[in-house]
């Protein structure tokens, strides 16, 4: 089973992406994605 999570840019805090996450995973999801607002690849973290 999975739940939908939102990923936010760590630099500008823009919420750019949504993805699915396994419910059993306890830590926050992190991914290196392109931020349209910053114009570069940055780390995006799961928000609450």
pLDDT tens over the chain, length 48 residues: 899 999 999 999 999 999 999 999 889 999 999 999 999 999 999 998
Topology at the third CATH level for domain 2-46: Rubrerythrin, domain 2 (2.20.28)
Nearest CA among 9, 15, 18 for reference residue 41: 9
**Burial class of residue 7, CB neighbours in 10 A (0-12, 13-18, 19+):** buried
Q: What is the pTM of this model?
A: 0.84
Q: Which secondary-structure segment (H or E) carries 47?
A: none
Write down the residue that tokens 């931020």 correspond to: 35
């Amino acid at each position: 089973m999975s739940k939908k999570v939102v990923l936010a840019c760590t630099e500008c805090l823009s919420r750019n992406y949504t993805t699915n996450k396994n419910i059993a995973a306890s830590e926050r999801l992190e991914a290196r994605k392109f931020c349209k607002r910053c114009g570069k690849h940055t780390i995006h973290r799961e928000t609450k």
